[in-house]
Amino acid sequence: MKKTKFFENYFEILSNSISSINYELLIEVAERIQSVNLKKGKIILIGNGGSAAIVSHLTIDLTKAANIRSINFNEGSFLTCFSNDYGYEFWAEKALEFFADKDDLVVLISSSGQSKNIINAALKAKEMSLGIITLSGFSKDNPLRSMGDINLWVDSKHYNTVENVHQAWLLSVVDYIVSIKLKKEEI
């Protein structure tokens, strides 16, 4: 067997997964983000583990590259305080209570689509009439997949594949928004 076969297969799966998105959904995500920005709202991003790393990256790029206000709750003392005081399943919900405003958009990421804290955050966002974008993978009928206004799903049961695809999709949206802003500046 060829030594490179693993990587050839891995990158083919990753490439196919990234390309599996309906590009119109990515445009919808970009338009929703831009609409929230025009209303002076902010983008609130929430994820666990690898998804928390994705929201950190996206928060920086939205803020710095696209000039769109965005926040996440990945600071260690914040997470441990809210988890200790409200329970891990409810920390994200409580964070929304404290920080979300009426024109905000919440982006919730869970590879499995079953993380209780992310599900509870989606329920709280609905209760607060906030816009919701979800990203998930694994089971086609995972609970998170039906909870957003826009739901992006990766057909894979492998964490790294799902997380890499989520990151590629979201960062492509940032680059799309930046490209639109640059075109307007050129005119």
| Domain range annotation of the chain | 5-186
| Cα 33 from chain centre | 12
- Model confidence over 96-151: pLDDT tens digits? 999 999 999 999 999 999 999 999 999 999 999 999 999 999 999 999 999 999 99
> N- to C-terminal Cα distance for the chain?
55
Q: Does residue 186 surpass a pLDDT of 70?
A: no
Distances from the Cα of 100 to the Cα of 103, 165, 172, angstroms: 8, 27, 25
- Model confidence over 154-182: pLDDT tens digits? 999 999 999 999 999 999 999 999 999 88
Report the side by side order of strands in the sheet with 43-47.
70-72, 43-47, 105-110, 131-136, 150-153
The mean predicted confidence, pLDDT, of the chain is 96
The class of domain 5-186 in CATH terms is alpha beta
Identify the CA nearest to 47 among candidates 71, 73, 17, 78: 73
Confidence of residue 183 (pLDDT cuts 50, 70, 90): confident
Percent of the chain exceeding pLDDT 90 equals 95
Q: Do the Cβ atoms of 110 and 47 come closer than 8 Å?
A: yes
Q: Does residue 74 surpass a pLDDT of 60?
A: yes
Full-model pTM: 0.96
